[in-house]
Amino acid sequence: MEEHPVQDMMRLMASKVRAIANGISGEEVEGLIREILNAKRVYVMGAGRSGLVARAFAMRLMHLGLTSYVVGETVTPALNQGDLVVVFSGSGETKTVADIAESAKNIGGRLCLITSRRDSRIGRIADCCVVIESHRDEIGDESAEFEIRQMMGKHKSFAPLGTLFETASVILADAIISRLMEIKEVNVEMLRGRHVNIE
């Protein structure tokens, strides 16, 4: 089968995501899982592409049988004490998201952040934080270095991706769901029973 530059980029992305996975703290991930299991309800949010990752995570939490909502939806109820807000934000500084995070804390909700910057506006008030490192590794091959710089948004001409944060985040979120399935002893048939049936 003929090779294609897109396949090369996929392999490069996969290798970068593997390196990111190796750098994520297991303790931080376990802290997030504990918060999810202890929460009465889980609210998720993010802006832009991070918001899309958050929505996918909320859907999978619902499939697990947990009560989950996306912040900003018309059917999302008021947040109460004992509820958890999970924020996806690479910078941890997005103003609209940070404003809501601060409001959630003032109400008495718990706050968890998935980010590349622990020392950020949201990170400083979060009850738990999972850091996805955004720094790039040293690459000996200059051509590979150039491609990674483009993927990491170092070159303005590379518009479609910009960052690997969201890619790593969606994989992390699905891996967390897999771990929650093990803990709650949920099988695929149980998930299928909660899947939408009016599409």
Residues catalogued as catalytic = 166
Q: Indicate the DSSP class of residue 72.
A: T
**Length of the chain (residues):** 199
What is the distance between the alpha carbons of residues 70 and 48, in angstroms, rounded to a whole number?
13
Q: Indicate the DSSP class of residue 153.
A: T
Which amino acid is located at 101 in the chain?
A
What is the distance between the alpha carbons of residues 122 and 114, in angstroms, rounded to a whole number?
10
Q: Which residue has the tokens 């103003």?
A: 95
The widest CA-to-CA distance across the chain, in whole angstroms, is 57
Per DSSP, the three-state class of 45 is strand
